[in-house]
Chains A and B, each alone.
Chain A
C-alpha cells in the first residue's frame, strides 16, 4: 500500500517537474553567474520550453509559460510582458514544427532550436533597444545564444529520460 502511495506521489511529482523547473529557473534566473566565468551564460528556460512544448506539450501549459515570463521580467528588471511574448513565440515555433513533422529527429530539433534562439533573442534585443531604449550588450546575447545552442543536446538527453519515465508511468 505504501509503495502504491509512493508511486502515485512520484508519478505526480514527475509530471509536474517541467513546471517546477520552469518556475524555479525564472525565480532564480538560473545562469551560473556565481561561477564568475566571463561570458559564460546560457538560457536554460529556452531549452526547457523548447523541448517540452515540442516533445510533450501536455506537461508544460502555455498559461504557465506566460506567467513564468511575467515573473522573469520582474526578477531581471525589464519591462513586463517581453519574456512572456518571447517564450510564447518559442511555443509557436515548436507548435509549427510539430504540425509539419511526422517523425521527430534530434538533429532537426537542434537545428530548429538555433534558428528559434537567434530569432527570439533578436526580437528581444529589438524591443529593448528600439522601443524601450535600453542599452544592451549584443555580444552577451550572441554568446548566450551560442552556449544555449551547445547545451541543448545535454538537456535533451536528460529531459528525454524524464519524458520517457513520465510516459511510462502514464501508460502503466
Chain B
C-alpha cells in the first residue's frame, strides 16, 4: 500500500517537475504562471490593462490575417447556399416589394407624427454612427461575440449599440485602441429590455447561446395565448442605452423563441451607434 502511494507520488512529481530534453520550462512553473495571470486579469490596475490592450491589439490583427482562408470558405459556402435558395428568395422578395411602397407611405406619416409628438413633450433623440468592419467573427460554443476595427481612437465606448442596417445585433463590451469587441444578442450573457408589439408588452430578450433568443420576465397574458400569429420585438428604451423602437426580431405562434432579424453569421459591416436621449434639441 505504502509502495503504491510512493509510486503515485514519484509519477506525479516527475510529471510536474521534470523537464524533458527539448522543454525549456517545467509544467508546474507554467501552470503557476497561468494561475498568476488569471488572478492578475481580475484586477483593474492600469499597467495590467495596458498590457491586456497590447496583447488584444496584436492577437486580433494576427487572427484577422490568419482567418482569411477560413472566411473565404465561409463566403463560398454562403454563396453556394444562396444559389440553391435563389428561386424561393426571389418569390418572397417579389411579395415584399409589392407591399413596400404601401408601407413606405405609411411610415413617412408616422415618422413625421412621432417627431411632432416628441417636440411637444420636449424630448429629443440624437445618434452618432460609426461604420465598422467585422474583423473576427468567432461564434464559438462558449461566447457569441464579434471584433470590430474601430476602437477608442474612433470614440467607441463600452455600451454603444451595434446595428446591422436598422436591426439591433449587440452591444460593445470591450474597447481597445484600434478595435473593440461586441457581445451579440444571441449570447447567454446578453439581456435587453424590449417591447412585444402587438400587444405592447414589456419583456426582456435574453440570448440562449444558439441562433435565437428567448422572451423572459413578461406578463402572464403573453403566456395565455395573447399573440396569435406574429409579433415584432423592439427595444423598449428602458435603461437609456438604446433608443426605443429598434427592431430586434420576431416571435411567432405564441412561442417564447425570438428569431433575430439579422443573421449574425453573415455580419461584415456594422454600425456602432451612440444614442443621446435628452430633453430639447
> Which A residues have a C-beta under 8 Å from some C-beta of B?
24, 27-31, 33-36, 38, 41, 57-58, 61-63, 65-66, 69-71, 74-82, 84-85, 88-89, 91-92, 95-96, 98-100, 127-128, 131-132, 134-137, 140-141, 143-144
B27 at the interface (CB under 8 A from A): yes
What B residues does A80 contact at CB under 8 A?
37-38, 41, 52, 55
Contact A28 B70 (CB under 8 A): yes
Q: Which residue of B lies closest to A24 (CB)?
A: B66
Q: Which residue of A lies closest to B173 (CB)?
A: A77
Contact B15 A79 (CB under 8 A): no
CA distance A148 to B121 in the complex (A): 59
Q: From known contacts A88-B30, A88-B34, infer whether A74 and B55 are also in contact, taking CB-CB under 8 Å.
A: yes
CA distance A93 to B98 in the complex (A): 64
B85 at the interface (CB under 8 A from A): no
A92-B16, A95-B27 given; name 15 further pairs at CB < 8 Å: A31-B140, A38-B211, A57-B22, A62-B27, A66-B25, A66-B34, A74-B56, A77-B143, A80-B55, A81-B40, A85-B34, A89-B31, A134-B143, A136-B142, A137-B209
B33 at the interface (CB under 8 A from A): yes
Neighbour of B11 across the interface among A31, A100, A132, CB < 8 A: A100
The distance from the CB of B3 to the nearest CB of chain A, in whole angstroms, is 14
What B residues does A127 contact at CB under 8 A?
38
Contact A29 B140 (CB under 8 A): yes
B150 at the interface (CB under 8 A from A): no
Q: Which residue of A lies closest to B69 (CB)?
A: A28
B111 at the interface (CB under 8 A from A): no
In the complex, per-residue mask of B64-107: 1 if CB is within 8 Å of any chain A CB, else 0? 00110010011001100000000000000000000000000000
CA distance A62 to B22 in the complex (A): 10
Q: Which residue of A lies closest to B24 (CB)?
A: A63
Contact A74 B42 (CB under 8 A): no
Contact B141 A140 (CB under 8 A): yes
Q: From known contacts A136-B188, A141-B141, infer whether A62 and B30 are also in contact, taking CB-CB under 8 Å.
A: yes
B110 at the interface (CB under 8 A from A): no
The distance from the CB of A129 to the nearest CB of chain B, in whole angstroms, is 11
Contact A79 B38 (CB under 8 A): yes
Q: Which residue of B lies closest to A140 (CB)?
A: B141
CA distance A66 to B12 in the complex (A): 20
CA distance A62 to B174 in the complex (A): 30
CA distance A57 to B20 in the complex (A): 8
CA distance A36 to B74 in the complex (A): 10
CA distance A61 to B188 in the complex (A): 35
Q: Which residue of B lies closest to A125 (CB)?
A: B142
Q: Which residue of B lies closest to A31 (CB)?
A: B140
Contact B22 A27 (CB under 8 A): no
Neighbour of A27 across the interface among B21, B36, B66, CB < 8 A: B66
Q: Which of B30, B36, B40, B210 has most A Cβ within 10 Å?
A: B30
The distance from the CB of B173 to the nearest CB of chain A, in whole angstroms, is 8
Contact A29 B138 (CB under 8 A): yes
What B residues does A89 contact at CB under 8 A?
31
What B residues does A69 contact at CB under 8 A?
34
Contact B138 A96 (CB under 8 A): no
Contact A34 B143 (CB under 8 A): no
B155 at the interface (CB under 8 A from A): no
What B residues does A35 contact at CB under 8 A?
77
Contact B138 A99 (CB under 8 A): no
Within B156-194, the residues touching A (CB, 8 Å) are 174, 181, 188-189
